[in-house]
Amino acid sequence: MWADGTITAAAGGWTGETIEQLISVPTFSPRWKADIVFRAELSPPARKATPKPLLYIDDTSLGSSIIAMHDPAIAPGVEDAICCYFTSDIVVSGIGLLWLDQKVITAPDLMPGYWHQWLRDVSGQSSVAIDASLPIRVIDEPCICAIGWGGSVYGHILIEMIPRLLVAIRAMANRPDFTVLLRSDTPSWAIDVAIQQLDIETSRIRFFDANKERVLLSRGIIPACLGYFHPGVELLIDTNFARIKNSPHPRSGLVYLPRKSETTFSRRATNEAALIAIAENEFGAHIVVPEELPLA
């Protein structure tokens, strides 16, 4: 049931599947064929952009890897190529698990390490054992799957879902008839930020109930997970959001950012109502809920 070692990342693709490299965008046309995974490369491997240093670290238990990620003194490494996969009859379940031949794909470019490890624990959001028994509904239209944690966590919408959707849209430049797969419990603010801001009509959204079904994409479009510092990601974002004007209501002074949408218990402050009151009454802070703001 678990595909460790069965479908893994190797030479830019998945062992156990036939990978056919497509000419780089925009000169290729998306295609689907049984038993073949097509891979389109939008941007080659590149040296990571130099990150900005963290403003302040008050919890050194974050781990040296996270701190080092923002240390400009450490020479940046190389990010993998930005690519998009086209595959027939791929099954989607839970928060974005991908299945081929009744096995979950664990290739790092489609399942980040933190997600892989998290799935091994007991989870109310996505369980391989439970998902495997759910009935399957077929979607025949070309359909993008890029949900992951971006379906419910605001930060992951910004750093995960939006960049992956931009990659898929760019890869489908010659085939604008695509649809987008979302969970039926995706909050309205997530749809507004990740879909409407990208000029994707709501009529193109295809919802599925992750608690009751899996979905088979006859023509699946799967953008690979992206590194945070690939310069091509920055270019995609700058190009697509240059048209969005900045908010006419800038804020100054202290700001408190509550985690109202966070459903993971370990990421929430159980006494946040009290913290908000202290921030407002004692420090005069503005309470800013990112999910309630426009993207710009």
DSSP label at 266?
A: G
Q: How many helical (H) and strand (E) elements, i.e. helices and strands, does the chain have?
A: 8, 16
Q: What would the two tokens of residue 254 be?
A: 């202290």
Domain boundaries, the chain: 9-45+80-241, 255-292
Q: What pLDDT, on a 0 to 100 scale, did the predictor assign at position 206?
A: 95
For each of the chain's 296 residues, which pLDDT tens digit applies? 223 222 333 333 344 445 455 444 445 678 888 778 888 888 888 877 666 666 566 666 655 666 666 666 666 677 788 889 999 999 999 888 888 888 888 787 887 776 766 665 544 455 787 888 899 999 999 999 988 776 667 777 888 888 899 889 888 888 888 999 999 988 888 887 777 678 888 899 999 999 999 999 999 999 988 766 678 887 887 777 766 656 565 666 788 888 766 655 556 677 888 999 999 999 999 888 888 776 66
Q: What pLDDT, on a 0 to 100 scale, did the predictor assign at position 14?
A: 44
d(CA 184, CA 210): 7
d(CA 195, CA 210): 19
Close Cβ partners of 175 (under 8 Å, ≥ 6 residues apart)? 29, 30, 142
Alpha carbon distances (Å) from 36 to 20, 95, 145: 7, 25, 18
Q: What would the two tokens of residue 164 be?
A: 């992956």
Q: What pLDDT, on a 0 to 100 scale, did the predictor assign at position 234?
A: 79
Q: What pLDDT, on a 0 to 100 scale, did the predictor assign at position 252?
A: 67
Q: What pLDDT, on a 0 to 100 scale, did the predictor assign at position 174?
A: 81
Q: What pLDDT, on a 0 to 100 scale, did the predictor assign at position 58?
A: 62
Q: What pLDDT, on a 0 to 100 scale, did the predictor assign at position 180?
A: 94
Neighbouring-strand partners of residue 255:
286
Q: Quick check: 60 and 41 in contact, CB under 8 A? A: no
Entry pTM: 0.80
Q: What pLDDT, on a 0 to 100 scale, did the predictor assign at position 3?
A: 30
Close Cβ partners of 136 (under 8 Å, ≥ 6 residues apart)? 91, 213, 214, 215, 216
Q: Is residue 238 left, alpha or beta, with left meaning phi > 0 and alpha meaning psi from -120 to 50? A: alpha
According to DSSP H, which parts of 74-133 are helical?
113-119, 128-131
**226 class by beta-carbon count within 10 Å (0-12 exposed, 13-18 middle, 19+ buried):** buried
User: What backbone phi and psi angles, to 5 degrees, belong to 12?
Assistant: 80, 5
